[in-house]
Structure 1
């Protein structure tokens, strides 16, 4: 219950305050001197936190430039984890640019597990990392230094604990926007985060069981794989058509859970990993009904 009382004249507010002395009340006065009281002695049973996702990014620029961009331009994140954090009393210092109660502009057009525009329901962490580096010998990726990984684990573990964020809702920008983003890249330490209690990871024994003796590189049914990834959280078509959009979704999934090969090909190992994740985290998820191909 919320008791709101506009006081004009002031004596009405005094009478209301006297009447509410036995309840848990707070008072607020606005600039026009309108006063109301809130009674917090009753609490609704059905409520949850607005923060339901944790989204990981890389900056693709160095720390100084990252802080300039994220504080001055039309993009922001709640936290920035330096690649080589300074320390205070032996603990890493992490930049907080946006209070957790406020929405940061880090996710953009996005979707995960049926929720769209994740800015409104997530905390975004930018990790200082150059991402892809193209050289004459081909594309390489900047690794995440151990001290940075340690800092991001400390931060992420605190966040998921405080907001009770499920493992399948700790995601990368590429997971929630696979058609336009590739961060935090194939070298992001998802397995290390999982080992520390943050995020999801498939059990190897289950992956082997789901492979059922198939060649890991053998082609798999496109529609079945699309359906599994859609159940897990990805925004993807389930029409069985292997086009550029589907390839980008498959590649995003592989970059997260099989970074050794993120070509985007629908192979048996990718299918087995997807099923292993569903078995572990969503055993009661209902498969999407099969639809005929167009």
Structure 2
């Protein structure tokens, strides 16, 4: 009788290691392989161009989605579990990876983006400090849990420069970098490079294209300053030199590139 009790107890322990799977499958989840990593390689930041209510509707009921939605007041909503792919990146590429929906976490910030000013130009809308504080807390946690490298915290415009401009020139990339989030450049090194470059001929378009590719951007390698290259340069400038992002190669842009590992 004692032996039978021991056998039943052992069976109960083994049964505790099994989970009832699909169609009656006994699925044992007691062993977890050591050779694995997070599917998440990048964090992509967007703006919604809509208000709170419309943003929630589009991202939860529409044909696009994001893992997180942050309101201007700093309230965070998780709309897609991190283990699943959200449909936020579209046609995009970063360091040659094109499956960005499958390898990234998308964060949407409720922000109008830009509106047309009286002179016909774009008027960009600033981000609320509460929203940026919430974003900082969220992204720090994501980086820690998923091991995301600094260069892989990017904007939609970085991974899709031919069609996207979000999160725009008023997004505080430098502020986030100071908080340990994302990539920034050695400003002292860039100043030294700029002083040297101002006394030399500007590098050729092919050099800028090579640098953009080295830094993760999907840049043409045509050797000419074509429209596609201008778009990629503008995306780089919007991220690292938002005071002027006309997509034209210049000494300051080159100096910043040289100051980035």
Q: TM-score, normalised by structure 1?
A: 0.80
Secondary structure at the counterpart of residue 101 of structure 2: helix
- Encode CA deviations 1:11-45: one digit per residue, 9 max, x unaligned: xxx99x85995xx97312235323233451x633x
Question: Pick from 218, 221, 233: which aligns with 1:238?
Answer: 221
For 1:43, the equivalent position in structure 2 comes to 33
Structure with the larger RCO, 1 or 2 (CA within 8 Å, 6+ apart): 2
For 1:251, the equivalent position in structure 2 comes to 234
Question: Pick from 76, 79, 83: which aligns with 2:68?
Answer: 79
Structure 1 position 115, deviation (Å): 0.9
Q: Is the 8 A contact 1:25 1:38 kept in 2?
A: no
Secondary structure at the counterpart of residue 189 of structure 2: helix
Q: Is the 8 A contact 2:194 2:251 kept in 1?
A: yes
Give 1:111-150 correspondences, 5 Å limit.
111-137=93-119, 138-150=121-133
- The answer as to 2:205 corresponding to 1:205 is no
For 1:70, the equivalent position in structure 2 comes to 59
CA distance in 2, matches of 1:270, 1:28: 56
- How many residue pairs match? The answer is 252
CA distance in 2, matches of 1:36, 1:57: 39
CA distance in 1, matches of 2:114, 2:202: 28
Question: Pick from 136, 142, 145: which aligns with 1:153?
Answer: 136
Structure 1 position 187, deviation (Å): 0.3
For 2:212, the equivalent position in structure 1 comes to 229
Task: Point out 4+ residue stretches in structure 1 off by more than 3 angstroms.
Answer: 17-21
Structure 1 position 172, deviation (Å): 0.3
Provide structure 2 residue ranges, at least 5 long, that are not aligned to the other structure.
1-6
Give 1:279-290 correspondences, 5 Å limit.
none
Q: Is the 8 A contact 1:83 1:129 kept in 2?
A: yes
Question: Pick from 2, 20, 29: which aligns with 1:29?
Answer: 20
CA distance in 2, matches of 1:244, 1:165: 31
Q: Is the 8 A contact 1:78 1:97 kept in 2?
A: yes
CA distance in 2, matches of 1:55, 1:113: 14
Q: TM-score, normalised by structure 2?
A: 0.90
Structure 1 position 214, deviation (Å): 2.8
Question: Pick from 64, 75, 98: which aligns with 2:80?
Answer: 98
